Structure 1
């Protein structure tokens, strides 16, 4: 049976990147596939440009930025209602090789127990430099890494089970979604794909990496280029992820390592003179301990920028 695939392209600004991504999706050598764009309240003309360039593609315009989890969940519900057998979540700052979808589907058809599969992800403009060859979780040290990041691809990473795949390009089956549910919107953005993959794996499905399927991702692989909001969500959501999923015997050590890592990052940003970055990490720690999830509210963020974190200056 030929699997019916829905590709969801989530965007929040990035008009030209979005158009390029859609161009690569429209050149895929796989059918039947439907492409649906979910626009998270872009203010740079992205939805208008998408409608003009690709009038036949589905487009959902959100009235607010729902984040990675919330925005994709809107698209996932539509895809399931329309009979999708598999859904491919694609970031708008990616470019797919023409046979990317076909190779992922071929792997799904060859191994029906797979619930999630992801491609080889290369950096945007550095030849065959790897951004992610699947993901690995270190429960003891409360860490999750994109395997191979920064390495030149010499074929050292074959098709195999992994702990998670990068959310910039993640294909999930209908059966897996129906078993474990949608993305957890408490994360808003970052760590939610790892959460989803862990839930899928613990439900008895395989989570796989397929190097024959390839794409490029524009996101930075350098931690010193991350902005304050990114640092906030990475810090807070790391606490949420490991508090939720770490096996009980390892949980005290994992949470201690997560806090220690956050405090170390805070100190690094202070020493580098990046005060706002440091305060963002501090706010992420506070909100993680307070169990304040979802999108950070504007009042808390404005207070952080003014030097007030959790009511403390």
Structure 2
């Protein structure tokens, strides 16, 4: 008997992708359930989704962000008896055997918490640029014909085991749209699960990677926060790594953003870092909850 997999998708003003995304899922050779959590879209996303009678649609009255909305879908999928949850971005499409090939690897390896496919660009040939960075440069373990072990993969397409969620928890609601996947991966590693890329599975990620100054600032802030709450390190080491990020991130972006913007980012990150320290009890609570595996599991406060 095949194990149960539920696909969870968060949508927000994604009408241009709905049909290609949904139609690709309906052609999956592996049987799936589909849960869509819509983040109060103002376009035709919900209208288009309602044309598909075999999906469960949850309409949030407010935009909950990526992590919180996914948590609602994850929680429902597990309560419905799913053995694994496939978290998929709205701006993607899959191939017929994508889920099947990932499932074979995940269910054959109990120590694998996350299995992700190759993320292709819209041309369906080249790797997505962000994915290629994580996939090519940060290998940390096995690299066979079918699997590569990595410390992090962006959460555009994750097949996550039930056991992983039960041990690690869900996405931490402290993150709104950036940083939640990196934080989740650090917790996955803390709880002794592995993160794998299935080389014989693929999805296409239809996006243009553009880094505005505002986006760089937000992503940098969440990287600093991630350093402070990373439960793989002691509290003191996390503080040091957080401060190093405050200094290092502006240097990293100096070539593309220029020195004036780089200095501006440094001061913004420094004040952000100091602001986090004024509520250090919250940082410590998040770290403790990460070790307990309960971050994000209490969704009553935002699931209306």
Band the TM-score falls in, shorter-chain normalisation: 0.7 to 0.9
Residues paired across the two proteins, number:
271
Are 1:169 and 2:154 matched, yes or no?
Answer: no
Q: Distance in 1 between matches of 2:245 and 2:78?
A: 36
Equivalent residue number for residue 73 of structure 2: 75
Shift of 1:286: 3.6
Equivalent residue number for residue 215 of structure 2: 230
Equivalent residue number for residue 105 of structure 2: 107
User: Which one of the candidate residues 73, 89, 93 is aligned to 2:87?
Assistant: 89
Q: Distance in 1 between matches of 2:228 and 2:118?
A: 29
- CA gap 1:62/1:279 in 2 versus in 1, 3 angstroms: farther
Equivalent residue number for residue 261 of structure 1: 248
- CA gap 1:263/1:178 in 2 versus in 1, 3 angstroms: same
Give the secondary-structure state (helix, strand or coil) at the position aligned to 1:183: coil
Give the secondary-structure state (helix, strand or coil) at the position aligned to 2:221: helix
Equivalent residue number for residue 41 of structure 1: 40
Q: Please report the TM-score for the alignment, with normalisation by the length of structure 1.
A: 0.76
Shift of 1:218: 2.1
Give the secondary-structure state (helix, strand or coil) at the position aligned to 1:211: strand
Contact 1:133-1:209 at 8 Å conserved across structures: no
Equivalent residue number for residue 3 of structure 1: 3
Q: Distance in 2 between matches of 1:271 and 1:109?
A: 48
Give the secondary-structure state (helix, strand or coil) at the position aligned to 1:219: coil
Q: Distance in 2 between matches of 1:126 and 1:282?
A: 41
Are 1:213 and 2:184 matched, yes or no?
Answer: no
Equivalent residue number for residue 64 of structure 1: 62
Q: Please report the TM-score for the alignment, with normalisation by the length of structure 2.
A: 0.78
- CA gap 1:279/1:260 in 2 versus in 1, 3 angstroms: closer
The structure richer in helix per residue is 2
- Which consecutive residues of structure 1, in runs of 5 or more, have no partner in the other structure? 135-144, 150-154, 294-313
Give the secondary-structure state (helix, strand or coil) at the position aligned to 1:88: strand
Greater mean alpha carbon deviation, residues 169-178 or residues 261-270: 261-270
Greater mean alpha carbon deviation, residues 178-187 or residues 246-255: 246-255
Q: Distance in 2 between matches of 1:258 and 1:46?
A: 38
